[in-house]
Structure 1
Amino acid sequence: MAGKLTGKVALVTGGSSGIGLAAAKRFAAEGASVYITGRNQPALDAAVAAIGGNVFAVRADSSVPADLDKVYAAIRSRSGKLDVLFANAGVAAFVPLGMINAEHYDGIVNTNLKGVLFTVQQALPVLSDGASVILMSSTAGFKGMPAFSVYSATKAAVRQLARSWLLDLKDRKIRVNVVSPGMVDTPAIAGLVGEANAAGTKAHVSSQVPLGRIARPEDVAAAALFLASDDAAYINGADIPVDGGAGQI
């Protein structure tokens, strides 16, 4: 039985861990040839082994346009096209107003906004007509959070990119959609709040979610798969929250 992405070529940026790795696994399991990117070669090698199927890794930093050129050159040479682009790579850090410096601002904006913009723009020559572009946003893009203003602003901006790009790309019938997770159970939580605080933070956030838990990477990957597939052929410009209902209360 054919999978939902049989015959398609997909790219997942930031695909060596967390949500990106889960999405790459789903895409490959559904028949896609999958490319993943990341900054760390050993992590990429481990991800390729974990994903299985027809998967290729390219070491690249999404905030560096020259690295993106390398990614798309590899896709063009090996596959000749790109049908699904999941611009997933992102970074986060808590810094309150009054302590924000240029290093924090540049680090977040360069990956989460500049990186997304050029990931999509540089893909255009290889993107198939009718392709699916999926952008990673966050519930932080529409909810206020203390000490998270720069990150939140980039995620709100990503949502607006989708609204504009679906018009820029309408003649090619390329769909542009967004997924907006709440907290997701990945190692990034410990990176944000510290290893000692990770369990307590997850428990607290879970208590605020109507479904009683935070998301798993596989929950977000399932939403990305829907948007990547022909099941979402008439879905364009949507923002799908993957937050257990927390954003609705």
Structure 2
Amino acid sequence: MGDAADARPARYVRPLSAESEGRAPGRGRLKDRRILIVGGGQRIFDAATDPIGNGRAMSLLCAREGAHVAVADVSGTSAGHTVSKIVAEGGRAFAIQADVTSESDVSRMIEEAHRTMGGLDGMVLNVGTFGKIGLDGVTGEEWNHIYDVNVRGPMFCCRRAIDKFENGGSIVFISSIAALRAGSQMAAYDSSKAALGGLMRNIAHLGARRGIRANLVYPGLVDTPNGRAAGAGRPSRGKAGTPFGRQATAWEIAYAVLFFLSDESVYVTAQMLAVDAGLSGF
């Protein structure tokens, strides 16, 4: 038995492409589109070593592909840093500070994005917070806060934005494979991310008459500041072998979002895509 086990080939590690590393040039897939990225900043876990986060990668990629980008975040400073990176590359972007748990903040954010860009063609809802493992240690207030950020906030955004969208626009929800399996053991987080699927399908139904599409991305294990923060509280996170031998990069999540924002998915709505190297399917 030992010899047979030793004879198994080493685990394949999927190499990083230019797209995986954020080095690929833009191809004009969002030329002249007006895109709002909600959650386009990123948290700081270790400023010296942090990789790029999902929201910042999405914002940069949209700008590289020709979009005018409104970068919204609860941290105006972090949103501003994302904008600075976009402008340094020659892109068009501006920052908006907004807390999605506040409906008045959301209304102001949508109005500012719509007014400054002269319309809305796309919106990405990249917001989320997590909490404690299990149920016993989670207070009712903590549970409600997680749902306020993860579910009610995206609902506010859709309710305020959909009437301002151009016909044929696109909304992309960012969930998590935690919605598909109980691997995180954080019941409040997992269930809130699962609820986004139901919200997304309703938005897709509401928007269908005007050709407004709504789809959802399930990121798997991704090497981001958020992911590292989650791993610090739960050392087992990421220890199990991933099918491709490594975690995803934020750029790999951003390219899935780009597909849903672009005309390449013009006949796709109410669908969900796991970007997890098959982790949720095995």
TM over 0.5: yes
Q: Deviations over 1:111-163 (max 9, x none)?
A: 00000111111102211111011001111111123531111111111011122
**Residues 81-90 or 97-106, more deviating:** 97-106
Residue aligning to 1:73: 111
Deviation of 1:192 (Å):
2.2
**TM (normalized to structure 1)?**
0.93
Residue aligning to 2:276: 243
What one-letter code is carried by the residue in structure 1 that aligns with 2:170? S
Query: Deviating runs (4+, > 6 A) in structure 1?
Result: none
Q: 1:222 aligns with which of 255, 258, 277?
A: 255
Structure 2: which 5+ residue stretches go unaligned? 1-25, 43-52
Q: 1:150 aligns with which of 174, 188, 191?
A: 188
- Distance in 1 (CA, whole Å) between partners of 2:162 and 2:147 is 22
Residue aligning to 2:28: 3
**TM (normalized to structure 2)?**
0.82
The alignment-based identity, stated in percent, is 28
Root-mean-square deviation (Å): 1.7
Q: 1:36 aligns with which of 67, 71, 80?
A: 71
- Distance in 2 (CA, whole Å) between partners of 1:43 and 1:162 is 27
In the alignment of these two chains, the number of paired residues is 244
- Distance in 1 (CA, whole Å) between partners of 2:27 and 2:140 is 49
Deviation of 1:215 (Å):
1.1
Deviation of 1:3 (Å):
0.4
- With over 3 angstroms needed to count, the CA separation of the structure-2 counterparts of 1:143 and 1:77, relative to structure 1, is same
> 1:93·1:151 contact (CA, 8 Å) conserved in 2?
yes
> 2:126·2:174 contact (CA, 8 Å) conserved in 1?
yes
Residue aligning to 2:171: 133
What one-letter code is carried by the residue in structure 2 that aligns with 1:60? A
- Distance in 1 (CA, whole Å) between partners of 2:171 and 2:181 is 24
Q: Which has the larger radius of gyration?
A: 2
Residue aligning to 1:210: 243
Residue aligning to 1:184: 222
> Per residue, is there more helix in 1 or in 2?
1
Other structure's SS at 1:37 match: strand
What one-letter code is carried by the residue in structure 2 that aligns with 1:221? A
Other structure's SS at 1:55 match: strand
